[in-house]
Amino acid sequence: MSDFKAQALKYHAEPTPGKISIEISKPAETVRDLALAYSPGVAEPVRCIAETPDDVYKYTAKGNLVAVISNGSAILGLGNLGPMASKPVMEGKALLFKRFANLDSIDIEVSHRTTEEFINTVANIADTFGGINLEDIKAPECFEIEKELIKRCNIPVFHDDQHGTAIVTAAGMLNALEIQGKDIGDATIVCMGAGAAAIACMELLIKCGAKREYIYMLDTKGVIHTRRDDLNEYKKLFANNTDKRTLEDALEGADVFVGVSGPDVLPAEALKLMADKPVIFACSNPDPEIKPELAHASRSDIIMATGRSDYPNQVNNVLCFPFIFRGALDVRASVINDEMKIAAVHAIRNIAKEPVPEAVLKAAEVTALEFGPEYIIPKPMDPRLLDRVSKAVSEAAVASGVARLVP
């Protein structure tokens, strides 16, 4: 067993199995404490909530509680391995919610037969939480699931693999293109993958100025084009009227590669087909579409990002989901809308242009970080993310009329 694999398993197993636990937040030592916490005291908030439902935010943990919900159908880039295999990832997301945004979070893994059954399960328990973070649910089912749950729930429902990934990708991409001296409106973009992350990333890049007709999206069958008759309604939106069929065809002269597909699908030789100064985001986890060492060996003018912590430029939704939920829950937003997503994009990208605090350099185990090819996006442990992204998101929620608490 490799050293890192052994360390990862030990980290998860010891001293207690798993990565999260529940703590009590009130005294529960004396007979009086218990009388307040449980019977008879607990009857008082019960009566208040029955009379005034919004009091649930005043007397329970709901307002600071996010459920991370999965069915394990697209666990990272590892595939459909089922609900229980997804539990370490979902516990991991809960850990990140707490660590970065002080949000309490619980993982829920759902076994189900039909999509409708999954939707009903989540909708029926939604009210107990302040927000729902859907995670690692494969396309195309994820689109219907999220749409239906947004309709049925009174709290923010956010599919992280779609929108968290898209927000961080857009933030990193706008910065990378700026450094390479390119305009997003002129960029030819190759997107490897046509699932949850891919569709959302491309839709948000279009909202940030990219041209739909300059995007070439690929799935396991190659380029998505107008003459294919096997496309679902989401892929159809990216069907390009083109003779390009292979990854190599699509990469010819392209400015950008976004990989949200699977490991090692981008050959180093193919990078040489791209235009000058390309941007390569190989975001599949844990193994990217191309290893950065291979990409850098292939050509020297690239900006390279991955989804991993152990290379420069980590384009990963961890830079978004804790902070967008913090901002949404702080103003009790009913939804997370486009205005809030775009506010998050700009708040994240702007941090990378400012001097980096000493504590961040220390946590990142580097001596310097400066806006440029090796630093296009902030580090997840940058404390400015919490202040700045959450505030921008809250303000956008208020301005767009979806906040129920106005500070």
What residues from 132 to 171 belong to the interface with ligand CC(=O)C(=O)O (CB under 6 A)?
Answer: 136, 160-161
316 binds ligand CC(=O)C(=O)O, rule: CB under 6 A: yes
Query: Which residue, 76 or 335, has its beta carbon nearer to ligand NDP?
Result: 76
38 is known as an active-site residue: yes
HSE-up of 367 (CA within 13 Å, CB side)? 0
98 is known as an active-site residue: no
Nearest approach in angstroms of CB 283 to ligand CC(=O)C(=O)O is 7
| End-to-end CA, the chain | 53
220 binds ligand NDP, rule: CB under 6 A: yes
* Nearest CA-CA partner of 326 in 161, 97, 170: 97
The residues that bridge with 190 in the sheet, in sequence order, are: 216, 257
Nearest approach in angstroms of CB 254 to ligand CC(=O)C(=O)O is 23
SS in 3 state form for the chain? Answer: CCHHHHHHHHHHHCCCCCCCCCCCCCCCCCHHHHHHHCCCCCHHHHHHHHHCHHHHHHHCHHHHEEEEEECCCCECCCECCCCHHHHHHHHHHHHHHHHHHCCEEEEEECCCCCHHHHHHHHHHHHHHCCEEEECCCCCCHHHHHHHHHHHHCCCCEEEHHHHHHHHHHHHHHHHHHHHCCCCHHHCCEEEECCCHHHHHHHHHHHHCCCCHHHEEEEECCEECECCCCCCCHHHHCCCECCCCCCHHHHHCCCCEEEECCCCCCCCHHHHCCCCCCCEEEECCCCCCCCCHHHHHHHCCCCEEEECCCCCCCECCHHHCHHHHHHHHHHCCECCCCHHHHHHHHHHHHHHCCCCCCHHHHHHHCCCCCCCECCECCCCCCCCHHHHHHHHHHHHHHHHCCCECCCC
What residues from 89 to 118 belong to the interface with ligand NDP (CB under 6 A)?
Answer: none
What residues from 59 to 98 belong to the interface with ligand CC(=O)C(=O)O (CB under 6 A)?
Answer: 76
197 binds ligand NDP, rule: CB under 6 A: yes
Nearest approach in angstroms of CB 96 to ligand CC(=O)C(=O)O is 10
263 binds ligand CC(=O)C(=O)O, rule: CB under 6 A: no
Tell me, residue by residue from 135 to 174, as one string, x for binding to Mg ion by CB under 5 A and - for no binding: -x------------------------x-------------
Contact 162, 234 (CB under 8 A): no
Q: How many residues bind ligand CC(=O)C(=O)O (CB under 6 A)?
A: 8
210 binds ligand NDP, rule: CB under 6 A: no
What's the one-letter identity of residue 317?
A: N
Query: Which residue, 250 or 260, has its beta carbon nearer to ligand CC(=O)C(=O)O?
Result: 260
Nearest approach in angstroms of CB 218 to ligand NDP is 5
Query: Which residue, 282 or 356, has its beta carbon nearer to ligand CC(=O)C(=O)O?
Result: 282
Nearest approach in angstroms of CB 285 to ligand NDP is 4
Taking CA atoms, 183 is separated from 50, 91, 210, 351, in Å, by 55, 39, 9, 20
196 binds ligand NDP, rule: CB under 6 A: yes
Using CB under 6 A, pick the residue from 240, 285, 334, 400 that binds ligand CC(=O)C(=O)O: 285
Query: Which residue, 318 or 396, has its beta carbon nearer to ligand CC(=O)C(=O)O?
Result: 318
Using CB under 6 A, pick the residue from 317, 337, 390, 394 that binds ligand NDP: 317
Residue 188's binding partner out of ligand NDP, Mg ion, ligand CC(=O)C(=O)O, none, with CB under 5 to 8 Å set by partner kind: none
Residue 131 sits at φ, ψ, to 5 deg, of: -160, 160
Query: Which residue, 146 or 161, has its beta carbon nearer to ligand CC(=O)C(=O)O?
Result: 161
194 binds ligand NDP, rule: CB under 6 A: yes
In the set 19, 62, 87, 93, the catalytic residue is 93
Site for ligand CC(=O)C(=O)O, rule CB under 6 A:
76, 136, 160-161, 285, 307, 316-317
Site for ligand NDP, rule CB under 6 A:
74, 76-77, 138-139, 161, 165, 192-198, 218-221, 260-262, 265, 283-285, 307, 315-317
Give the catalytic positions in this structure. 38, 93
